Chains A and B, each alone.
Chain A
Amino acid sequence: NAGVMQNPRHLVRRRGQEARLRCSPMKGHSHVYWYRQLPEEGLKFMVYLQKENIIDESGMPKERFSAEFPKEGPSILRIQQVVRGDSAAYFCASSPIGMRDTQYFGPGTRLTVL
């Protein structure tokens, strides 16, 4: 049973470009969560999605960031017009129905903005 998959593992962008991060949850999991980890810090919750629905996006910056989890395909975290402060590790987690607090994490995407 494959775990949570994220790609790419490393992403380099120049200021002003767009970053797209993908996450495929574990088989049978219908909840997806995105977290951001700044250097030497813990993870901070960004957004919680179910298929075709954003359940809670209280941790998402109001501008430039968006997330989706379409009916088919992976969840996408999109960052438009990236700035240096967006450089971080972005982790996706998934959980099965009825167990939102037990989250399984992917390996993360490390975004570097030059």
Chain B
Amino acid sequence: GDSVTQMEGPVTLSEEAFLTINCTYTATGYPSLFWYVQYPGEGLQLLLKATKADDKGSNKGFEATYRKETTSFHLEKGSVQVSDSAVYFCAPGGQGGFKTIFGAGTRLFVKA
């Protein structure tokens, strides 16, 4: 079945460090790919998306490129801030396009 694998957290970085959170997935066909962010005690916010191969999604300094050949959608940011501390979920659109698949998420701590 469809699934997603993210690097395990927590990831702890100092402010202004470079961030990479790896994500690979298995899915039927070529689903849209999403990154969501969950701040403490809140719901999920859509961070960025890509709908087809080689698309790059970007928002708030975060980027991810849809790599069909490696079935990956790694999240990157050049310079993290303390306010980026949250849990990040890589989420392929699942069966039928609406059963979004979520992994356990990667918790990020950014130290000042």
Q: Taking the nearest CB of chain B, how far is it from the CB of A34, in angstroms?
A: 12
Chain A residue with the shortest CB-CB distance to B92: A101
Q: Is the CB of B44 within 8 A of A91?
A: yes
- Per-residue A-contact encoding for B67-85, CB less than 8 Å = 1, 0 else: 0000000000000000000
- In the complex, what distance in Å separates the CA atom of A111 from the CA atom of B45? 20
- Complex Cα distance, B36 from A42, in Å, reads 11
Q: What's the nearest-Cβ distance from chain B to residue A18, in Å? A: 23
- A4: B residues at CB distance < 8 A: 43
Q: Is the interface of B mostly helix, strand, loop or mixed?
A: loop
Q: Tell whether, in the assembled complex, residue A102 and residue B104 are in contact, meaning their CB atoms are under 8 Å apart.
A: no
Interface size of A by Cβ–Cβ distance < 8 Å? 26
| Total chain B interface residues with beta-carbon distance under 8 A | 22
Tell me whether B45 and A33 are in contact (CB under 8 A): no
B56-67: CB near A (< 8 Å → 1, else 0) gives 000000000000
Pick from A40, A41, A91, A101: contact of B43, CB below 8 A.
Answer: A91
**A-B pairs with beta carbons under 8 Å apart, 26 shown:** A40-B104, A42-B89, A42-B104, A43-B89, A43-B100, A45-B99, A48-B99, A56-B96, A56-B99, A58-B99, A91-B43, A100-B96, A101-B93, A101-B97, A101-B98, A101-B100, A102-B32, A102-B46, A102-B49, A103-B46, A103-B100, A104-B46, A105-B43, A105-B44, A105-B46, A106-B43
- B residues apposed to A, CB below 8 Å: 31-32, 34, 36, 42-46, 49, 89, 93-94, 96-100, 102-105
* Interface positions of A (Cβ within 8 A of B): 4, 6, 31, 33, 35, 40-45, 48, 56, 58-59, 91, 95, 100-108
